[in-house]
């Protein structure tokens, strides 16, 4: 057997092994999938049986009903003003929108009040979490706190980041009940982990020149941190804060699903009614969610683009709509790559 034949046979054997490994891998994946479906009781027959009911549910969502958009449309006449007519009526009567936003007690049944609650929960949670995020973020940097002491603060932030806001609110429910107040605390704690870690990473990348210049003047350690380090990253810190505020608005909607108020609670309550009219009203709630998320993300993106050197434009509307499928943002988790 010559060398060419031996090489060809070796290549054929290697190719055969790869094909066998591919087939075995596909079979293993299919078996694991079948076992997983059996474990949770998922069957195709059940999907077929429930399909007509589900299709009726989807059909109701295709006819959004804004009857709950404001108190005026909800209470107009015996049955209120339905469909997009309620939205049009509210736009023609801006005073009714203001009244709806101010009716905080109706946040679970009026869309404008629910939207205001959602935005307030996200914004307030971000503001309350910012001071501790700044504290842990600065002390977590090796440039400020020497190794291994900086890992105490990094470890704290990593632990907080590992727990989503949906779990943090369960911890605060015994303190404040299932409410928007508990949601604010949950988002504030979540902000400490997420924002603090972004601050730490930003400090690790600063230049040594300004620090050495401050040190040469005989400045104290605190003055070096403030004027030599934080002065380099102040713009980035503001940009990251806006980004986290954007994520927290989505998290506020998710927290509403567990009863913390806002748009999430409105949609969850409507779906629980289980009627076609309630599904149509839930669809209007979903449209409000998309509007709030897109508006907040566009505003945040535009401001961050202005703050960062070299950037003149933020995300476009299509980019924001594509990001609606980002599960991490809905769970209150963001990464540097997402920004």
CATH number at residue 147: 1.10.3720.10
Instruction: Provide the pLDDT for residue 23.
Output: 94
On whether both 176 and 242 belong to a single domain, the answer is yes
Does a structural domain hold residue 172? yes
Does a structural domain hold residue 162? yes
Contacts 24+ apart (CB under 8 A), 69-74: 69/100, 69/110, 69/111, 69/112, 69/284, 70/96, 70/97, 70/99, 70/100, 70/110, 70/111, 70/112, 71/96, 71/99, 71/100, 71/103, 71/106, 71/110, 72/96, 72/99, 72/100, 74/109, 74/110
CA 304 to chain centre: 17
Does a structural domain hold residue 142? yes
On whether both 119 and 213 belong to a single domain, the answer is yes
On whether both 48 and 141 belong to a single domain, the answer is no
User: Nearest 10 degrees: CA dihedral of 260, 124, 235, 334?
Assistant: -10
Does a structural domain hold residue 120? yes
Distance CA 335, CA 195 (A): 10
Instruction: Provide the pLDDT for residue 213.
Output: 84
The first and second tokens of residue 158, run together, are: 């990593």
Within the chain, how many helices (H) and strands (E) appear? 16, 0
Instruction: Provide the pLDDT for residue 127.
Output: 94
On whether both 155 and 248 belong to a single domain, the answer is yes
Instruction: Provide the pLDDT for residue 52.
Output: 86
On whether both 119 and 52 belong to a single domain, the answer is no
User: Nearest 10 degrees: CA dihedral of 182, 70, 84, 116?
Assistant: -30
On whether both 213 and 148 belong to a single domain, the answer is yes
On whether both 35 and 138 belong to a single domain, the answer is no
Q: What is the CA radius of gyration of the chain?
A: 27
Does a structural domain hold residue 32? yes
Does a structural domain hold residue 337? no
On whether both 118 and 56 belong to a single domain, the answer is no
Instruction: Provide the pLDDT for residue 215.
Output: 80
On whether both 304 and 205 belong to a single domain, the answer is yes
Q: How many domains, the chain? A: 2
On whether both 201 and 134 belong to a single domain, the answer is yes
* Domain of residue 282, residue span: 111-309
On whether both 122 and 28 belong to a single domain, the answer is no
Does a structural domain hold residue 163? yes
On whether both 300 and 217 belong to a single domain, the answer is yes
Per-residue pLDDT of the chain (339 residues; tens, 9 = 90+): 677 788 888 888 888 899 999 999 999 999 999 999 999 988 888 888 888 888 888 887 888 888 888 888 877 655 578 888 888 888 888 888 888 788 776 677 888 888 899 999 999 999 999 999 999 999 988 888 888 888 888 999 999 988 888 899 999 998 888 888 999 999 999 999 999 999 998 888 888 888 888 888 877 888 888 888 888 888 888 888 988 988 898 889 888 888 888 888 888 888 888 788 888 888 888 898 888 888 888 888 888 777 766 555 556 666 766 666 676 666 666 555 555
Instruction: Provide the pLDDT for residue 301.
Output: 81
Does a structural domain hold residue 72? no
DSSP 256: I
Q: b/e for 241-256, b at 16 or more Cβ within 10 A?
A: bbbbbbbbbbbbbbbb
């Amino acid at each position: 057997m010559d060398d060419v034949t031996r090489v060809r046979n070796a290549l054929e054997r290697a190719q055969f092994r790869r094909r066998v490994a591919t087939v075995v891998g596909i079979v293993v994946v299919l078996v694991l999938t079948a076992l997983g479906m059996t474990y949770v009781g998922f069957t195709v027959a059940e999907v077929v049986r429930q399909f007509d009911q589900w299709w009726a549910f989807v059909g109701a969502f295709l006819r959004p009903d804004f009857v709950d958009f404001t108190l005026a449309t909800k209470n107009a006449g015996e049955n209120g003003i339905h469909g997009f007519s309620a939205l049009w009526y509210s736009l023609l009567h801006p005073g009714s929108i203001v009244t709806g936003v101010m009716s905080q007690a109706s946040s679970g049944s009026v869309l404008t009040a629910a939207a205001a609650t959602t935005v307030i929960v996200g914004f307030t949670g971000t503001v309350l979490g910012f001071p501790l995020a700044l504290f842990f973020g600065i002390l977590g940097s090796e440039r400020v706190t020497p190794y291994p002491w900086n890992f105490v603060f990094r470890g704290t932030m990593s632990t907080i980041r590992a727990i989503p806001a949906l779990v943090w609110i369960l911890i605060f429910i015994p303190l404040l009940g299932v409410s928007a107040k508990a949601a604010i605390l949950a988002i504030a704690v979540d902000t400490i982990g997420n924002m603090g870690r972004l601050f730490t990473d930003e400090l690790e990348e600063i230049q040594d020149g300004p620090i050495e210049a401050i040190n040469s003047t005989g400045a104290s350690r605190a003055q070096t941190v403030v004027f030599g380090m934080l002065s380099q990253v102040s713009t980035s810190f503001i940009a990251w804060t806006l980004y986290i505020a954007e994520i927290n608005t989505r998290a506020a909607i998710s927290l509403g699903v567990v009863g913390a108020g806002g748009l999430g609670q409105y949609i969850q309550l409507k779906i629980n009614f289980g009627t076609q009219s309630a599904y149509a009203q839930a669809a209007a709630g979903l449209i409000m969610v998309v509007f709030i998320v897109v508006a907040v993300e566009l505003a945040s993106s535009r401001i961050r683009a202005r703050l960062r050197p070299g950037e003149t434009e933020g995300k476009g509307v299509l980019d924001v709509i594509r990001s609606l499928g980002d599960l991490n943002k809905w769970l209150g988790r963001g990464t540097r790559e997402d920004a």
